[in-house]
Amino acid sequence: MFNYAAVIKPILIELDEARALHQPVRVEADLIPLFTKHSSFKTIDLYPIPQGPICGMHLSNAKSGVAQIFYRRCESHFAKDLVASCPECQLARVTVAKELVHVLDSNGARTSIEAAPDLLIDLLLKGALAENSHVQADSTAVFWAIEMLARFQHRLVQLGGPLGSTSALTNAKTTDNWGLYATGYAIPTGVARIAYSDNFMNLAKTFRDAVGLPTICVI
């Protein structure tokens, strides 16, 4: 897990530099160029697939440096742009981001997952994933997918430090309505809720501290 943090660190830093914090992260325009830059895979192709037993998977060929990601895409918007407020489109984004994290696995043993933190994240994400039964219990990759799509620095701004949360976040917490953040990040509502939970924030801080990523607001 800490190894993942080290490998994904330059991607998170450059993502914040390349894409304004208030804008949603685009998988193809923002994430894929960073993963081709910072992994041994110089070509990463996305293949949308229709409804079926597979939610997401990746095939990578270290020799050719080509990774292929298959992901189940929303039927209503299959041939169109993803819609930020559509639950199936939101799920498709988390799926692709998760599979991108797995592309880092293929870099070699240095990204091997340590069992204990993975179990912790598993417990943490259980509720959010239960709402989206199509996302397999694949917690470490989902954790980093969330960190890429609902960025830490943006969450810090919303949490607001000593002055308190933004009214939008206070409202989301009070009413347990995460629609604004789900649409803003284009991720499922349950995932948005988890991203702002104390446990998730603390875990994210722990991993960021471990690899020297900022854990105070630097924007």
Chain residues in the site for Zn ion (CB under 5 A): 74, 76-77, 83, 86, 88-89
Quote the least distance from Cβ 207 to Zn ion, whole Å.
31
195 contacts 203 by C-beta, under 8 angstroms: no
Quote the least distance from Cβ 131 to Zn ion, whole Å.
16
E strand or H helix at 145: helix 139-149
In the complex with Zn ion, which residue's Cβ is closer, 89 or 148?
Answer: 89
Radius of gyration of the CA atoms of the chain, in A = 16
Quote the least distance from Cβ 217 to Zn ion, whole Å.
33
Separation CA 126–CA 199 (nearest Å): 13
In the complex with Zn ion, which residue's Cβ is closer, 2 or 47?
Answer: 47
Token pair for residue 77?
Answer: 């918007």
In terms of C-beta distances under 8 Å and separation of at least 24 residues, what long-range contacts does 11-15 make, across chains too? 11/35, 11/38, 11/148, 12/147, 12/148, 12/151, 12/152, 12/213, 13/213, 15/148, 15/151
Give the CA angle between residues 180, 12, 2 to the nearest 5°: 110
Q: At what angle do helices 139-149 and 115-131 cross, to 10 degrees?
A: 70
In the complex with Zn ion, which residue's Cβ is closer, 117 or 188?
Answer: 188
In the complex with Zn ion, which residue's Cβ is closer, 86 or 159?
Answer: 86
Quote the least distance from Cβ 69 to Zn ion, whole Å.
18
Quote the least distance from Cβ 181 to Zn ion, whole Å.
18
In the complex with Zn ion, which residue's Cβ is closer, 90 or 139?
Answer: 90
